[in-house]
Amino acid sequence: SAVQVEPLANAVDTADADADSANLVSNNVLNIGVPSNTPWGPATKQLPIQVMARSTCYKTGSIINTNAMFFIGAVEFTGDYVANYHPQEGDSGAVWFTQGACPQAVAELFATTNGTNFALAGPINHILSGLGVSMDGRACTAAVNPDTNDQLASQLPVAETPGDTANREHAEATVDLYSGDYVKVVPGIWGMGAGWDNSGHPEIDLWATSITPQIKASVPSTLNGVPVVVFVSGAPRFLR
Protein backbone atom coordinates (compact mmCIF):
# COMPACT_ATOMS: atom_id res chain seq x y z
CA SER A 1 0.00 0.00 0.00
CA ALA A 2 1.22 3.51 -0.71
CA VAL A 3 1.51 6.00 2.14
CA GLN A 4 -0.26 9.08 0.79
CA VAL A 5 1.32 12.45 1.54
CA GLU A 6 -0.36 14.56 -1.14
CA PRO A 7 -3.44 13.97 -3.31
CA LEU A 8 -1.33 12.88 -6.29
CA ALA A 9 2.07 12.09 -4.78
CA ASN A 10 3.40 9.27 -2.63
CA ALA A 11 6.41 9.10 -0.34
CA VAL A 12 6.68 5.31 -0.29
CA ASP A 13 5.19 2.06 -1.54
CA THR A 14 5.00 -0.52 1.25
CA ALA A 15 2.89 -3.17 2.98
CA ASP A 16 2.74 -4.82 6.37
CA ALA A 17 1.72 -8.26 7.58
CA ASP A 18 1.07 -10.08 10.86
CA ALA A 19 2.79 -13.36 11.66
CA ASP A 20 0.65 -16.22 12.97
CA SER A 21 3.33 -16.98 15.57
CA ALA A 22 6.31 -15.10 17.01
CA ASN A 23 8.37 -18.23 16.30
CA LEU A 24 8.03 -17.54 12.56
CA VAL A 25 9.90 -14.22 12.64
CA SER A 26 13.20 -12.89 13.95
CA ASN A 27 14.78 -9.48 14.24
CA ASN A 28 18.19 -11.00 13.39
CA VAL A 29 18.66 -10.04 9.73
CA LEU A 30 20.70 -12.64 7.83
CA ASN A 31 24.25 -11.38 7.07
CA ILE A 32 23.50 -8.11 8.89
CA GLY A 33 22.51 -8.99 12.45
CA VAL A 34 20.06 -7.46 14.89
CA PRO A 35 19.56 -3.83 13.87
CA SER A 36 19.14 -0.77 16.04
CA ASN A 37 15.68 -0.03 17.38
CA THR A 38 16.29 3.57 16.29
CA PRO A 39 16.18 4.23 12.53
CA TRP A 40 18.69 6.47 10.82
CA GLY A 41 17.49 10.01 10.20
CA PRO A 42 17.48 11.67 6.77
CA ALA A 43 20.06 10.08 4.46
CA THR A 44 23.29 12.03 4.76
CA LYS A 45 26.07 12.73 2.29
CA GLN A 46 26.78 9.62 0.16
CA LEU A 47 25.55 7.31 2.92
CA PRO A 48 26.98 3.75 2.64
CA ILE A 49 24.27 1.09 2.95
CA GLN A 50 23.87 -2.66 3.15
CA VAL A 51 20.82 -4.75 2.29
CA MET A 52 19.73 -8.37 2.55
CA ALA A 53 17.10 -9.31 -0.02
CA ARG A 54 15.41 -12.46 -1.25
CA SER A 55 16.84 -12.62 -4.79
CA THR A 56 20.13 -10.72 -4.73
CA CYS A 57 21.05 -11.83 -1.18
CA TYR A 58 23.56 -9.45 0.48
CA LYS A 59 24.50 -6.22 -1.31
CA THR A 60 26.28 -3.01 -0.41
CA GLY A 61 26.18 0.39 -2.05
CA SER A 62 25.66 4.04 -1.24
CA ILE A 63 22.83 6.52 -1.53
CA ILE A 64 23.51 8.80 -4.47
CA ASN A 65 20.30 10.86 -4.46
CA THR A 66 18.09 12.20 -1.69
CA ASN A 67 14.69 13.87 -1.99
CA ALA A 68 14.28 12.11 -5.33
CA MET A 69 11.10 12.84 -7.28
CA PHE A 70 10.10 10.48 -10.09
CA PHE A 71 7.20 8.82 -11.85
CA ILE A 72 6.57 5.11 -12.31
CA GLY A 73 3.99 5.19 -15.06
CA ALA A 74 1.42 7.72 -13.86
CA VAL A 75 2.30 7.29 -10.16
CA GLU A 76 4.35 10.11 -8.65
CA PHE A 77 6.80 9.60 -5.79
CA THR A 78 8.53 12.34 -3.83
CA GLY A 79 11.17 12.53 -1.10
CA ASP A 80 12.75 9.16 -1.91
CA TYR A 81 16.30 7.78 -2.20
CA VAL A 82 18.36 6.37 -5.08
CA ALA A 83 21.24 3.93 -4.46
CA ASN A 84 23.90 2.52 -6.79
CA TYR A 85 23.16 -1.19 -6.91
CA HIS A 86 20.82 -3.28 -9.06
CA PRO A 87 18.10 -5.22 -7.24
CA GLN A 88 16.11 -8.06 -8.80
CA GLU A 89 12.52 -9.23 -8.84
CA GLY A 90 11.60 -10.58 -5.42
CA ASP A 91 13.68 -7.96 -3.57
CA SER A 92 10.87 -5.47 -2.96
CA GLY A 93 10.45 -4.72 0.73
CA ALA A 94 14.11 -5.26 1.60
CA VAL A 95 15.38 -2.71 4.12
CA TRP A 96 18.52 -0.65 3.60
CA PHE A 97 20.70 -0.40 6.71
CA THR A 98 23.77 1.65 7.56
CA GLN A 99 27.02 -0.33 7.55
CA GLY A 100 29.06 -1.08 10.64
CA ALA A 101 28.49 -2.77 13.99
CA CYS A 102 25.13 -1.10 14.67
CA PRO A 103 23.00 -1.20 11.50
CA GLN A 104 20.27 1.43 11.52
CA ALA A 105 17.35 1.19 9.10
CA VAL A 106 17.44 3.85 6.39
CA ALA A 107 14.87 2.99 3.72
CA GLU A 108 12.71 0.26 2.17
CA LEU A 109 13.29 -0.85 -1.42
CA PHE A 110 10.35 -0.85 -3.82
CA ALA A 111 11.61 -0.09 -7.34
CA THR A 112 14.53 -0.24 -9.77
CA THR A 113 15.42 1.12 -13.20
CA ASN A 114 15.31 -0.80 -16.45
CA GLY A 115 18.72 -2.03 -17.54
CA THR A 116 20.76 0.17 -15.21
CA ASN A 117 22.38 -0.14 -11.81
CA PHE A 118 20.01 1.84 -9.57
CA ALA A 119 17.63 1.07 -6.73
CA LEU A 120 14.79 3.26 -5.46
CA ALA A 121 13.54 3.26 -1.87
CA GLY A 122 11.28 5.15 0.51
CA PRO A 123 12.68 6.65 3.74
CA ILE A 124 12.08 4.27 6.63
CA ASN A 125 10.83 7.04 8.92
CA HIS A 126 7.98 7.80 6.49
CA ILE A 127 7.08 4.12 6.43
CA LEU A 128 7.15 3.62 10.19
CA SER A 129 5.05 6.71 10.86
CA GLY A 130 2.64 5.92 8.02
CA LEU A 131 2.00 2.40 9.30
CA GLY A 132 2.12 3.34 12.97
CA VAL A 133 4.86 0.83 13.80
CA SER A 134 8.41 0.90 15.20
CA MET A 135 11.69 -0.96 14.71
CA ASP A 136 12.26 -4.17 16.66
CA GLY A 137 15.96 -4.15 17.54
CA ARG A 138 18.61 -3.31 20.09
CA ALA A 139 19.61 -0.03 21.69
CA CYS A 140 22.59 1.31 19.74
CA THR A 141 23.50 3.99 17.22
CA ALA A 142 25.74 3.67 14.18
CA ALA A 143 29.36 4.75 14.44
CA VAL A 144 30.26 7.56 12.06
CA ASN A 145 33.39 8.29 10.09
CA PRO A 146 34.78 11.58 11.44
CA ASP A 147 36.77 12.25 8.24
CA THR A 148 34.29 14.17 6.12
CA ASN A 149 36.59 13.88 3.09
CA ASP A 150 36.67 10.08 3.30
CA GLN A 151 33.23 9.34 1.89
CA LEU A 152 33.23 5.57 1.52
CA ALA A 153 36.63 4.12 2.49
CA SER A 154 35.53 3.10 5.98
CA GLN A 155 32.03 2.09 4.83
CA LEU A 156 30.66 4.04 7.80
CA PRO A 157 28.23 6.96 7.64
CA VAL A 158 30.11 10.23 7.18
CA ALA A 159 29.88 12.78 9.97
CA GLU A 160 28.17 15.49 7.96
CA THR A 161 29.52 18.96 8.72
CA PRO A 162 27.07 21.84 9.22
CA GLY A 163 28.14 23.07 5.77
CA ASP A 164 27.44 19.65 4.22
CA THR A 165 24.00 19.59 5.81
CA ALA A 166 23.21 23.10 4.59
CA ASN A 167 24.38 22.24 1.06
CA ARG A 168 22.35 19.01 0.99
CA GLU A 169 19.22 20.72 2.28
CA HIS A 170 19.66 23.53 -0.27
CA ALA A 171 19.92 20.99 -3.10
CA GLU A 172 16.88 19.11 -1.77
CA ALA A 173 14.90 22.35 -1.61
CA THR A 174 15.95 23.07 -5.20
CA VAL A 175 14.44 19.74 -6.27
CA ASP A 176 11.18 20.78 -4.61
CA LEU A 177 11.25 24.10 -6.43
CA TYR A 178 12.07 22.89 -9.92
CA SER A 179 11.09 19.22 -10.34
CA GLY A 180 7.67 20.25 -11.65
CA ASP A 181 9.35 22.20 -14.48
CA TYR A 182 11.28 19.20 -15.83
CA VAL A 183 10.05 15.77 -14.69
CA LYS A 184 7.50 14.46 -17.20
CA VAL A 185 7.31 18.01 -18.60
CA VAL A 186 10.43 17.77 -20.76
CA PRO A 187 9.97 14.53 -22.75
CA GLY A 188 12.35 11.79 -21.63
CA ILE A 189 13.06 13.15 -18.13
CA TRP A 190 11.54 10.79 -15.56
CA GLY A 191 13.18 11.86 -12.30
CA MET A 192 15.17 14.42 -10.32
CA GLY A 193 17.12 14.28 -7.07
CA ALA A 194 19.76 15.93 -4.92
CA GLY A 195 23.16 14.29 -5.38
CA TRP A 196 26.90 14.81 -5.05
CA ASP A 197 29.79 14.96 -7.51
CA ASN A 198 32.96 12.89 -7.11
CA SER A 199 34.41 15.52 -4.77
CA GLY A 200 31.37 15.50 -2.49
CA HIS A 201 29.93 18.79 -3.73
CA PRO A 202 26.14 19.00 -4.18
CA GLU A 203 24.54 18.73 -7.58
CA ILE A 204 21.07 18.34 -9.04
CA ASP A 205 20.67 15.07 -10.95
CA LEU A 206 18.11 14.75 -13.70
CA TRP A 207 17.30 11.23 -14.89
CA ALA A 208 16.40 10.71 -18.54
CA THR A 209 15.92 7.74 -20.85
CA SER A 210 18.19 9.49 -23.39
CA ILE A 211 19.75 12.91 -23.89
CA THR A 212 17.76 14.48 -26.70
CA PRO A 213 18.21 17.86 -28.40
CA GLN A 214 15.15 19.08 -26.50
CA ILE A 215 16.70 18.10 -23.16
CA LYS A 216 19.97 19.81 -24.12
CA ALA A 217 18.05 22.96 -24.99
CA SER A 218 15.78 22.87 -21.91
CA VAL A 219 18.12 21.98 -19.06
CA PRO A 220 20.31 24.78 -17.62
CA SER A 221 23.81 24.27 -16.27
CA THR A 222 22.71 25.34 -12.77
CA LEU A 223 19.47 25.65 -10.81
CA ASN A 224 19.31 27.87 -7.76
CA GLY A 225 23.12 28.03 -7.83
CA VAL A 226 23.53 24.21 -7.86
CA PRO A 227 25.17 22.46 -10.87
CA VAL A 228 22.84 20.25 -12.92
CA VAL A 229 23.86 16.86 -14.37
CA VAL A 230 21.73 14.70 -16.67
CA PHE A 231 22.11 10.93 -16.26
CA VAL A 232 20.90 8.42 -18.81
CA SER A 233 18.96 5.54 -17.27
CA GLY A 234 16.13 3.23 -18.14
CA ALA A 235 12.75 4.22 -16.78
CA PRO A 236 11.90 3.10 -13.22
CA ARG A 237 9.59 0.18 -12.50
CA PHE A 238 8.09 -1.46 -9.45
CA LEU A 239 9.70 -4.58 -8.03
CA ARG A 240 7.80 -7.58 -6.75
Tell me if 178 sits within 8 A of 164, measured CB to CB: no
Q: Interior CA angle at 72 toward 218 and 113, to 5°?
A: 85
φ, ψ for residue 69 (rounded to 5)? Answer: -120, 125
The span from the CA of 75 to the CA of 139, in Å, is 37
Residue-level pLDDT at 18? 83
Give me the tens of pLDDT residue by residue for the chain, a chain 240 residues long. Answer: 444 444 456 867 888 888 888 888 999 999 999 999 999 988 888 899 999 999 999 999 999 999 999 999 989 999 999 999 999 999 999 999 999 889 999 999 999 999 878 999 999 999 999 889 999 999 998 777 655 455 445 566 767 888 989 999 999 999 999 999 999 999 999 999 999 998 889 999 999 999 999 999 999 999 999 999 999 999 999 999
The predicted pLDDT at position 152 comes to 47
What is the model's pLDDT at position 143? 74
7 burial level (CB within 10 Å; 0-12, 13-18, 19+): exposed
pLDDT of residue 17: 82
- Rounded to 5 degrees, φ, ψ at 45 are -50, 115
At 6 the pLDDT is 47
